[in-house]
Amino acid sequence: MIPLVHYLIISAVLFSIGIAIVITKRNIIVVLAGIELILNAANINLVAFSTQDGMLKGQLFALFVMIVAAAEAAIALAIVTQVYKHFRTSNLDELNKLKD
């Protein structure tokens, strides 16, 4: 039996990597992937903690998160294609028109 702390460490590492990707990467697609990493880090936490109470509430919640993540990815990719069509780029540094 792998102790709970290991899951938590994995989850924290994954979360941090996701955050780092979201903040540093320039391509929108990669940033979306980083968001997936963050969500999955949370999922790992949910699943890990659900082993402790036996009612599987956490696992169910993880399933819910996956569904939300899928929906989110679908909408986000649709936006990305529209953005690309409009701006002819997927570089986030160049997409700063909201500022003005």
Partner 1 sequence: MISLETILTLQNVFIALLILLLPMGTFGVLYFFGSKLPRKGDWLATGVMGICLGLSVFLLTKTWNLPETVAQIPWFTLPGLQRDIPFLISIALNPLAAVMMVVVTLISFLVHLYSIEYMYDKKNYTRYFPYLGLFTSSMIGIVLSDNLLVTFMCWELVGFASYLLIGFWMEKPAAARASKKAFLINRIGDVGFLVGLFIVYAKFGTFDLAELREFLAYTGISEQLIFTIAGLGIFLGCVGKSAQFPLQLWLPDAMEGPTPASALIHAATMVAAGIYLLAKTYLLLTGDALLVIAFTGTLTALLGALPAIVQTDIKKVLAYSTISQLGFMVMAMGVQAYDAALFHLITHAFFKACLFLTAGAVIHEMHHVKQGMFIRGYFNNFDTLNMKLMGGLRKKMPVTFAAYFISCMALIGVPFFSGFLSKDAILEGTMQWALHHYKTSGQTFYFLIPVTAILTVSVTAYYMIRQMILVFFGEFKLKTFYPQVEPVFQKIHDPGWLMKIPMVVLGTLSVWIFFSVNPLSGHHGWLMEKLAYVSPIVPQLDALVALLVSVLAVLAGASLAWYRFRPATYLIQSDTDHSFVKRLLKNNWYMDQLYQVILIKPGMQLAVLSAWVDRTIIDGLIHTIAYAGVLFSYFVSFIDKYLLDGIVNLGAWISLRIGRFSRSFQQGNVQGYFAYAVLGVVLVFLYLLIIEF
Q: How far is the CB of 94 from partner 1 (least distance, A)?
A: 10
CB 34 within 8 A of CB 19: yes
Q: Which is nearer to partner 1, 53 or 93 (CB)?
A: 93
Residues 6+ apart with CB under 8 A from 76: 32, 35
Helical spans, DSSP H, in the chain: 4-24, 28-53, 57-87
Q: Which is nearer to partner 1, 19 or 63 (CB)?
A: 19
Residues that bind partner 1 in the complex, under the rule CB under 8 A:
19, 22-24, 31, 92-93, 95-100
Q: How far is the CB of 28 from partner 1 (least distance, A)?
A: 9
Q: How far is the CB of 5 from partner 1 (least distance, A)?
A: 19
Residue 70 CB neighbour total at 10 angstroms: 11
